[in-house]
Amino acid sequence: MAVKIKLTEVSKVFHTFRQTIHALEEISFTVNEGELVSIVGPSGCGKSTIIRIIDDIIRPSSGVATVDGENVNLDKNRRLVKKIGFIFQEPNLLPWLTVRQNVQMPLKIFRLKGPEWENYTDELIKLVGLEDYASSYPIEISEGMMQRASVIRAMVHKPEILLMDEPFGALDEINRESLDFELLDIWQKTQKTIVFITHNVHEAVLLSSRVFVMATNPGRILDEIKIDLEYPRSSRIFYEGRFVKYRDEITNLIGELDISKIK
């Protein structure tokens, strides 16, 4: 399987007026094409910094991040930018635009027009069950619906990679689990490469083929756990001994983590 994303000894140091923060120390890992991996760890371990380096939002202090063998941090490369969709913790929908108009924002940015893109927008809206709300405004729909719209907005320009920064963290447990299964369905249908950031160990094991476990001070990878559970996955997986074993192993690796965030 081809390597899609590669980080080699990536470190990041932030300098403030009062202190120097070693956010990441020599992070190295690969993500294969079509793979869904998660990064878990306590707050402040640098999870979000990693995916922002991959998306060239933040530049590393040292080391190299590549997508398809190209260094993403050398220069703004329009071809690489179009390969990535970024999904933030909050939906960030524009309140004066409808759901459909919000979803289509990347098409305007990348100047993608025509029936192909209109039809693909409709397919994505239907895929996440928002076809009856396409003409609604954000204030008229639920938080879960807004998050669904933000996911497909990141997909509408047909990126090869989705970087997801705790996208369901603000939702209640029922909505979160529902969207986790929807994400699995989308991933299996599209086979996009996904890097998923989460505090939630349960969620990481449910979604991933591999989980990278991080520690703080400085942010570093403690271990890589291969999740040997078959796809497609359903709620029955929660009762499998292997699921519980992986969840407990990762929880023990993380150590001091807010127990309310481990489901």
Report the pLDDT value the prediction gives residue 76, as an integer from 0 to 100. Answer: 61
Mean pLDDT of 110-139: 95
Q: Are strands 220-226 and 36-40 parallel, antiparallel or unpaired?
A: unpaired
Q: What is the pLDDT of residue 74?
A: 65
Cis peptide bond upstream of 232, omega within 30: yes
For residue 78, the one-letter residue type is R
Map out the domains of the chain as residue ranges. 93-159
Torsion sign (Cα): 108, 112, 115, 121: negative
CB 73 within 8 A of CB 81: no
pLDDT at 233: 92
Report whether pLDDT(259) > 60. Answer: no
Structure confidence by residue, pLDDT tens digits, 143-178 = 999 999 999 999 999 999 999 999 988 788 888 899
pLDDT, position 15: 87
Tell me the per-residue pLDDT of 33-83, one tens digit each, with 9 for 90 and over: 999 999 999 888 999 999 999 998 899 999 999 999 999 876 666 678 889
- Band (pLDDT 50/70/90 cuts) for residue 254 is confident
Phi-psi region of 166 (alpha: psi -120 to 50; beta: other; left: phi over 0): left
Mean pLDDT of 218-222: 93
pLDDT 10s digits, 2-45? 999 999 999 999 988 888 888 999 999 999 999 999 999 988 89
Instruction: Give the pLDDT score at 77.
Output: 63
Whether residue 263 is predicted with pLDDT greater than 60 in this model: the reply is: no
Give the pLDDT confidence score for residue 75 in this predicted structure: 63
